[in-house]
Amino acid sequence: MTDNSSTSSASARAGRKPTAFRLDDRKVRLTEDPTAVPDNDEALIAALEEEAETPRLPAAASSPKSAFSFGKWIAIGFSGLVSLAVGLAVDALIRDLFSKTEWLGWVGIALAAVAALGLLGFILRELLGLLRLGKIDHLREALAKAAEEDDARAAGRHLKDLIALYEDRPETARGRKELAGHMREIIDGRDLVVLAERDLLSPLDLEARRIVMNSAKRVSLVTAVSPRALVDLLAVLIENMRTIRRVAALYGGRPGTLGFLRLARHIATHLALTGGMAAGDSLASQVLGHGLAARLSARLGEGVINGLLTSRIGIAAIAVCRPAPFIDTKGPTVSEFLSEIVKTTEKEDT
């Protein structure tokens, strides 16, 4: 008798119609048994079992151990020896000047003091340039994080640093004023970063595009008309170095010699991460896709390819030197420069 009644109850529960319940309804019952079957007039909420996480090794297991660096000691030793050699040579020179004529010795001391002051100024300039580049890198990362998390407080704090970065730039006065007004009215972190991109950085972005465009045009022309591969290589190298420096100065970087080397390394890293340097096939496909192979000679086609590669380096320089990320826009692309480079090369062909 009991078996028949339980069987009929189970079949009735299996064939009941779908019913909607509110979570605060008394008929909703929590259970820890996922195999439990609800009655006709109730609903069950079963807790799912959490899957046991696979134990992970600590981060130290994959971190290389700091070993004794012989290279650093070699560099310190050689630099110390060179410094001692220069100092002894200067000292010997000044002693010889005094032994001949006293006023020549004082002239030597004055020149040595001028050289020392120049070296001190050079070191200070390089340190300030490195600190400024580091500040821009930190500012870009912080604004990207604030926009991603929509953190208005962090966005406002870092946008104040962005305004301070351009406080000595008269061409940014209007953008700084508008952005300061937005910071008092907008409460969304992402919107604040977007407004900074639109009002403060958009004029600088337009100038950066112009710098990269003109550089790519010059490289394409020189490569197209130059009869020597060495001249092409020097022209491309000098033009790209000039473009990187101008873009960095435009966005407030002001890199010195060491700062430029650091910046060039960052640009190379950015190109490697984005696949920029391994873009020969894609550049060729862009040229072929626009039907340029039939209109340009092999030499002029090479000029177009070099111009596009220069534009890629310029785009990477913009991404690395810009103190804020591209949030509302995607930034410049190679296709934006293609038509102008081709027009310039075709004019040279005619």
pLDDT tier, 220 (very low <50, low <70, confident <90, very high otherwise): confident
Higher-pLDDT residue of 1 and 299 is 299
CB atoms within 10 A of CB 99: 10
Distance CA 255, CA 60 (A): 36
- Show Cβ contacts of residue 270 under 8 Å, excluding neighbours closer than 6 positions: 276, 316, 319, 320
- Report CA-CA distances (Å) from 148 to 36, 192, 296: 43, 12, 45
* Least confident span in 22-31, 287-296, 324-333: 287-296
Q: Which residues pair with 31 in a beta bridge?
A: 46
pLDDT at 53: 52
Highest mean pLDDT among 110-114, 153-157, 308-312: 110-114
Question: Could you read off the pLDDT of 298-315 as tens digits, one per residue?
Answer: 556 677 777 888 888 888
Q: What percent of the chain has pLDDT over 90?
A: 7
pLDDT at 120: 92
Evaluate if residue 346 carries a pLDDT over 70: no
pLDDT at 114: 94
Highest mean pLDDT among 6-10, 40-44, 68-72: 68-72
CB atoms within 10 A of CB 44: 15
Higher-pLDDT residue of 292 and 262 is 262
pLDDT at 293: 46
Higher-pLDDT residue of 93 and 286 is 93
Distance CA 315, CA 215 (A): 12
pLDDT at 5: 44
Residue 229's identity, in one-letter code, is A
Mean pLDDT within 248-275: 80
Residue 289's identity, in one-letter code, is G
Average pLDDT, the chain: 77
Q: What percent of the chain has pLDDT over 70?
A: 69
